[in-house]
Amino acid sequence: MIVLKATQDKVLSVLQSVAGIVERRHTLPVLANVLIRKTGSSLQLTTSDLEIQIRTTAELGGDDGNFTTTVGARKLIDILRTMPGDQTVSLESSQAKVILKGGKSKFTLQTLPAEDFPLVQEAASFGPKFSVPQKTLKALLGQVSFAMAVHDIRYYLNGILFVAEGKKLSLVATDGHRLAFASATLDEEVPSKQEVILPRKTVLELQRLLSDAEGAIEMQFANNQAKFSFDGMEFVTKLVEGKFPDYNRVIPKGHRNNVTLGRQALLSCLQRTAILTSDKFKGVRLNLDPGTLRVASTNAEQEEAVDELDIDYGGDSIEIGFNVTYIIDVLANMDQDMVRIDLADANSSALITIPDNENFKYVVMPMRI
């Protein structure tokens, strides 16, 4: 039976959309495979790593009929990549193997039984569905994901908090040194407050799959699972258990000193001074005086970098130290021209926001230098 017959670019894009979570070496060999299920003329591809499951449905030609198998996902992709985009390729079933053909090339691949493929047990009851445009969610993830922790012992920090309440969707990420918050308005009101922590791997995979399209992404949360549907794909993931820190208490209110300045000028200035910071601490000193911002760094070799920016500022004189990476991260992930920084004193967190925009907040702890 010919399972699929279509051009290389079509087959490859469908495979790549599900193959991001597949790990080459897994304790369960079948998880290196993609589950292929043909029902009539419709083809369904499923991958899993036991935590996340991605399923997509496509029409890729071939014979109508019922057929299931699993075949190595990376191998298929590696072979397809070597063929031209307009090349017609086909996948045929032959006893316990599948044959991939394209032009004069022929590849006979080993399969594993479909019944061995562990499908994720979906939660019995999900909360209400709600949706946002794909590009909105992609933008929100981009504004906060860099602040997620990596391999933190406080496992609930290795991900992003999603909060849907009323007509607002908020995303929060923190690694204990800095916190990023971004929110957007939903089209419809969510009947009850939904609050879940999505794992780091899920977040990175969503960022890879989401496009800048206007099309909506539908979300549903259960106690231990989240489900996303978009572009003919269904994405089910486990959640991180645990209690996320109360981010409202972390975001400072009422800092009396604030300055608004050009984002790119500040970013360039910090990137220059970062070169002479010590690898371990990455500390820079900011001196804020009326009219001037002075940025300085030193390293173990007694080298020093100093840079100055003219700013519109009339508040207190403040000297404060930061890990320069934390400020570069946030500035590099924004696309606005201007940025606002609120400060109290040398020992209090700084608040970085976008002027006249309540939907984004970034808090960074100071460091002693």
Percent of the chain predicted with pLDDT > 90? 95
Per-residue pLDDT at 26:
80
Identify whether 69 is part of a domain.
yes
Identify whether 17 is part of a domain.
yes
Distance of CA 356 to CAs 10, 40, 260, Å? Answer: 44, 54, 11
The pLDDT tens digits of the residues spanning 325-360 come to 999 999 999 999 999 999 999 999 999 999 999 999
Regarding whether 314 and 235 lie in a shared domain, the answer is no
Edge-to-edge order in the sheet of strand 350-354: 159-174, 178-199, 357-364, 350-354, 338-343, 257-262
Regarding whether 267 and 169 lie in a shared domain, the answer is no
Q: What is the mean pLDDT of the chain?
A: 96
Regarding whether 226 and 278 lie in a shared domain, the answer is no
Regarding whether 282 and 226 lie in a shared domain, the answer is no
Identify whether 123 is part of a domain.
no
Query: Among 233, 249, 265, which residue terminates a domain?
Result: 249
Query: Among 230, 249, 268, which residue terminates a domain?
Result: 249
pLDDT surpasses 90 at 213? no
The whole model's pTM is what? 0.93
Predicted confidence band of residue 92 (pLDDT cuts 50, 70, 90): very high
Which domain, by its residues, includes 192? 130-249
Identify whether 121 is part of a domain.
no
Regarding whether 239 and 168 lie in a shared domain, the answer is yes
Per-residue pLDDT at 279:
87
pLDDT surpasses 90 at 214? no
Tokens of 249: 């208490």
Regarding whether 286 and 343 lie in a shared domain, the answer is yes
Regarding whether 270 and 163 lie in a shared domain, the answer is no
Identify whether 308 is part of a domain.
yes
Per-residue pLDDT at 161:
98
Identify whether 124 is part of a domain.
no
Percent of the chain predicted with pLDDT > 70? 100
Query: Among 211, 230, 249, which residue terminates a domain?
Result: 249
Identify whether 122 is part of a domain.
no
Average pLDDT over residues 46-59: 96
Q: Domain count for the chain, please give it.
A: 3
| CATH code of the domain covering residue 162 | 3.10.150.10
Regarding whether 262 and 244 lie in a shared domain, the answer is no
Regarding whether 138 and 74 lie in a shared domain, the answer is no
Measured from the Cβ of residue 119, the count of other Cβ atoms closer than 10 Å reads 12
CA angle at 187 for the pair 18 and 211, rounded to the nearest 5°: 30
Predicted confidence band of residue 23 (pLDDT cuts 50, 70, 90): confident
Looking at residue 289, its amino acid is: D
Measured from the Cβ of residue 62, the count of other Cβ atoms closer than 10 Å reads 20
Average pLDDT over residues 63-91: 96
Identify whether 296 is part of a domain.
yes
Q: What is the rounded distance in angstroms from the CA atom of residue 205 to the CA atom of residue 212?
A: 15
Average pLDDT over residues 190-207: 95
Identify which of 226, 238, 237, 240 has the alpha carbon closest to the alpha carbon of residue 54.
237
